[in-house]
Amino acid sequence: MRSIHPLMAPAAWVPVSHPNTAYNGSQIPVGREDCTSRDVRAAAQVLKNDHVSKGPKGRFRAACLTTLFLFLVVVVGRGAEITYIHGANPDPVAQEQLELTARFYGLSLDSFQVRTRSEADQALSLLRRGDTLAAVISADSVPALPREATLAALRRPNVTRVPLLILGITPQSDRHQLASWSDGAVLDCRALPGGDSANSYVVGSASQVTGQLAGQEIPNLAPPGCRLATDPARGSEPLLSLRSDVQNHAVFVWHHSGSQETFFLSKMEAGGSSLRPRHEDAVTVFSRLAPIMMFVRYAAGDRAWHADGHYANLTIDDAWLTEPYGHLNYAALLREMEAHNFHTTIAFIPWNFDRSEPKVVQLFRQHADRYSICIHGNNHDHLEFGGYDRTPLSGQIADIQQGLARMERFRTLTSLPVDRVMIFPDEVAPPAPTLRALERYNFAGAANADVVPIGSVQPTAPLFFLRAVNLNFTSFPLVRRYSAEAGVSKALIAVNAFLDNSLLFYGHQSMFTTGINAFDPVAATVNRVQPDTRWSSLGSIAQHLDRVRLRADGNYDVVAYGSDLIFQNRLQRDVIYHVEKQNEDSLPIRALTIDGRPAFYELSGERLSLAVPVGAGESKHVVIEYQSDLNLASVDVSKKSPSVAFLRRISDFRDITMSRSTLGRALTRFYYQHHLDDLELDLEGFLPLLLVLAVVAIAAGWLLRKRARTRNLRIA
């Protein structure tokens, strides 16, 4: 079984530079190098040595080695899924974009340099390999490759052809070559007119390639070197165009003639920002990779890593089951969900476990397809899952245990299911050891706006920003979510949908100050961009965080993120899911079951692997349960802390009472805008003393008023 990269994919590859390889610094896939493939590389290298062509013996030897090379390539048929052929001076920007895209989609990439006729012959042999899913040719290498022979090398027995991308086109590129390779559809690449504003790209409407991005705009962070002049009558479609004040300029074009599909991309500059960002999001990182990612995703199809479906969720933090909770009216929100097709999860504070109103409980019970419950801290007393300087790991573990015990009491009292998904108070991701404790106590995952744990350093690698699920720090899935109150752009929704990321939104009761329909526009955008979106509970989404890809044998590889998984086979044939999961710290497994029955699995270091056969049209439920010291029956669920009780009551007063008046909302905004909550946090340790002083002050005032009334009566 192949190894799993902790964030991107199994079968990742690493850059290897070796002066004696036929690929001249190419990317060698990890786990794919064997004796036969080394023979191919060795044969190809000898062909490239200058002394081979000297003299009759050298020419004879070259002919023999060429035959050997071609035989090995064709018979073995094991090569890279993406083949990149470039000239003497490869474009470092294009090379890096291809490497990042290949890693994201779990594909191997070979780079091959063409300078001579013999190298062109070798390049054609590489394109003929059965594993090749996508072919990329730099514009400077096009003159060295015969067009008809190249297109023939891309033909496959089932009549389909491997899609071809010609990139790095500049105004100096041979216009006759462009016209020839595009059947006259691409005329040349012209310099961009000066003076136009060009801050964004417009994505074309060819959804077969552009997918969920069709018709959207993304930032222009990888400026093109020129604009492609095309003849639409010859079957070309613009996929990416630079928005201009006067006229949009095509920079990425798709030409399809018969069964051959050829893509043309102008040379993209690095732009003002590096591909090694520090503070980025999926939109800005993706905008620098957009053309390459569109092409590779289209070319590889199901052979690339992808999700088994598209999922979305709205979570409302802090609310408990009372009607209304501030501006959140459960019955009214239900009508909006049914009318606009979305699902709402209540991030429930376990301290409130015994406060639910029967009519709201009944509403949730009757509409489980629209409402669900997950866990929001324990007491929600500020940073209970923050740095260990405030709450040590032992205290955070105690909070996890008490929170679970309280939610079990909630489940008993209400008969409502509770998803073991954690929403951290105040959007602070705790240190990595706390995340490991959540995994040990069999949480399915956590969702947070910030997915970098306290005490950890945010990665600068671009792919960190493209995946919503973070496994960089632990094997426990931490999923990025977005504030619906702060506003969500259409581009963010479309880009995340294109990347197969689950769309998780969150807010508070204050989001509905303007009306219970406040979330409707976001839901409408999601449903328009991705019509088959499944709005689900966070627990259900956690079961579908894995990435899958089709294998050559018709089965599937799976990289699993969580410990509670569902595999649904929608095909008309049986398949086997070959699952691999990171098992950090070699957590002891109490049981691994498939549909409740014990199943065989293998552990190798910190990797768990198993095979899951699923019949046509069937589904399988895989649960990995870890051993822990948790005994819910022995955990005290009482509310003994007066400071926590005071905090929760004052929070209720803020959300339920103050939120109903303009003055109350203004005071709340002032409180948080001026970070008075930080002052409250600093004073939290003195809260018991302050409560005692408050009681004494109230009692003293009462006594003074009583004495004053008595004195007044005597005088009267």
Look-up: residue for tokens 């899609």? 163
The full DSSP string for 212-257 is GGTT-EEE--S-BSSEEEE-GGGSEEEEEEE--SS--EEEEEEEEE
Contact status, residue 467 vs residue 459, Cβ threshold 8 Å: no
Q: What is the mean pLDDT of each run of 10 residues along the chain (716 residues)?
A: 32 29 30 36 43 48 45 45 92 93 96 93 93 95 94 86 94 92 91 73 94 93 88 89 85 88 90 51 92 97 95 97 95 98 98 96 98 97 88 96 98 97 94 96 96 92 92 94 93 96 96 96 97 97 96 95 95 96 86 96 92 96 95 94 89 81 68 53 52 58 71 66
Q: What is the pLDDT of residue 15?
A: 30
**pLDDT single digits (tens) 638-651:** 999 998 998 889 88
Q: What is the pLDDT of residue 593?
A: 97
Q: Which amino acid is at 177?
A: Q
Q: Token pair of 92, please?
A: 């470092």
Contact status, residue 129 vs residue 78, Cβ threshold 8 Å: yes
Q: Which of 411, 453, 402 is nearest to 632 (CA)?
A: 402
Q: Token pair of 512, please?
A: 């509905």
**C-alpha span between 386 and 402 (Å, rounded):** 17
Whole-Å CA distances, 501 to 63, 296, 498, 557: 51, 17, 8, 18
Contact status, residue 209 vs residue 298, Cβ threshold 8 Å: yes
**pLDDT single digits (tens) 593-602:** 999 999 999 9
Contact status, residue 538 vs residue 564, Cβ threshold 8 Å: no
Would you report the helix, strand and coil content of the chain in percent, each value rounded to 5? Answer: 40, 25, 35
- Whether omega before 324 lies within 30 degrees of 0, making that bond cis, reads yes
Distance of CA 622 to the CA centre of its chain: 22
Q: What is the pLDDT of residue 602?
A: 94
